[in-house]
Amino acid sequence: MTLSSGQLQAIRAAIAGIPADVSNDAVGQHVARIDDIYAPETHAAALDPSAPIVLGARGTGKSFWSGVLGQQATRAEAALAYPQLRLAQIEVRFGYTGIGGPDGIDADALDAAVPPDASIVDAKAFWWATILGAAEGVRPKHLLGQAHDPEQREDLLIAHEQRLRAEGKVLLVVYDALDTLARSWLRRRLLTGALLEVVWAMRAYRAIRLKLFLRPDQLEDDALRFVELPKLKAGAVRLEWSARDLYGLLYARLAMTEDQRARTAFKQALAKLGLKAVDRRRVLARRWSLATEPQDQERLMALLAGRYMGKGAYAYKKGRTYRWPIAHLADAFNEVTPRSFLRMMIAAAKHGPPPENLVITPDGIRHGLRAASQTRVDQLHYEFPWIKGVLAPIAGLLLPKHEEEVFQVWQTAGTIRRLREEVEQGRYLSPFADDDGGSPRALFEALERIGVMFRRGDDRLDMPDLFRVAARFVVAGSQITSGLRRPARSWRRKSLPRTT
């Protein structure tokens, strides 16, 4: 049995029709939808009510899972995927969401309660008020007085704890978008440190639990001063996507597409490989080989895009179509976000005329890398508004280079001076963690912390393909189109328990 040209084009159209860059919020118009839920096995730890800190870079799904937890319908769906977590038995309220509205708590509410000259006592009182407010169903501003008084606060918390235990329930208070807390390092450290102290204190309660979705760099700030912080770090879990998870997500989108013609064609593709079709519940519960077996995933990718990225007798030297996207979409921590992966596949499905015997082509995948690279940098720019201005001066630089050569480019372009001016204007949080005005070395370290640059084993500075493409780097030796070489890293993010 072979697939017809029409069937191949139907699958191609389904890939091209996947939403390219859907950004979720914990509350409001852009919350997670039931149809968008794909539940990797390793993400169970991120949703576990007993895990208070979940770490993830932008685009890994922090706000998505926050929104899933915050809605009864999506929470029930997640309960089917992770029955061991007993999510149906919990109540969820938000302690912070980064956006306001009837269900959210944003930086304006925080700033009104914690003025610029506030102490850590004031900051902790606000966070205590968010817990009390979640338990009582009121805004935290109405409970600041009780939150400031240790005896009143404890009496209220114990009363709610006893009520919840009697009802057989657990209240989970979720904190999302915590990178929006402040625009200065001093204030961010004050608010983050205060929140972490409250999280540690809440270990005394069983029926009231907290869950923080944090960026890794926010927790790993060495200037945070809290005696129990190492214990919280040790218990943190990381929200990551393996190659298996990413391909499972793509194939689930195709299996569940609303385009009936494409769905039928995809079933035919599975049948050609001896694989079974699947319904939504089996996808959600991961009772599907295309969600769990890399060998089956690679066989299907070979059917859709060919086995290798090259042509002819030496095609294998260009790498396998299954592995190439993961290798070239990874940041300096070897992490790939689902947004980048889907963006690559969507762009590949839109590139050039439809091939006769494939769904997407190797050339389309290479084109997709450029689209995914631009998307990833745009995402980072939302989180770190200084990023594009920092990459622009070195856009023509042939990396890897010794640090002096990179630093000189920034010096010549006046990059550090411009950053200082824009930080002084209050346009964004400084990339320099110590607020010392910065230096080229400090700028590189900021890029290193977020996985945009890294130091090779020979001490030269380099950048992953994912970012060098968007920055229009000259790539030596056609590195982007060569196989799967990954340069050795001499620096790694501090080790934390992972969800993969």
DSSP readout, 268-285?
HHHHHTTPPP--HHHHHT
d(CA 225, CA 431): 20
Enumerate the β-bridge partners of residue 454. Answer: 462
pTM: 0.89
Query: Which burial class, exposed, middle or buried, applies to 464 when counting CB atoms under 10 A from its CB (0-12, 13-18, 19+)?
Result: buried
User: Distance between the two ends of the chain, CA-based, in angstroms?
Assistant: 37
Residue ranges of domains in the chain: 5-14+242-380, 41-238, 385-481
Q: pLDDT (tens digit, 0 to 9) for every residue of the chain, 500 residues total?
A: 578 999 999 999 999 999 876 678 898 888 999 999 999 999 998 899 999 999 998 889 999 999 999 999 999 999 999 999 999 889 999 999 999 988 899 999 999 999 999 999 999 999 999 999 999 999 999 999 999 999 999 999 999 999 999 999 999 999 999 999 998 889 999 999 999 999 999 999 999 999 999 999 899 888 888 889 999 999 999 999 999 999 999 999 999 999 999 999 999 999 999 998 899 999 999 999 999 999 999 999 999 999 999 988 888 889 999 999 999 999 999 999 999 999 999 999 999 999 989 999 999 999 999 999 988 888 888 889 999 999 988 888 888 999 999 999 999 999 999 999 998 888 888 898 765 568 999 999 999 999 999 999 999 999 998 888 877 643 333 343 333 334 434 334 443 444 44
For residue 137, CA distances in Å to 94, 99, 133, 143, 366 come to 10, 18, 5, 11, 51
Pairs from 310-313 (Cβ < 8 Å, separation ≥ 24): 310/362
d(CA 479, CA 30): 38
Q: Which two tokens stand for residue 409?
A: 């480019």
Task: Look at strands 53-55 and 208-214 and give their pairing.
Answer: parallel
Phi, psi of 368 (to 5 degrees): -60, -30
d(CA 73, CA 44): 18
Specify the length of the chain in residues.
500
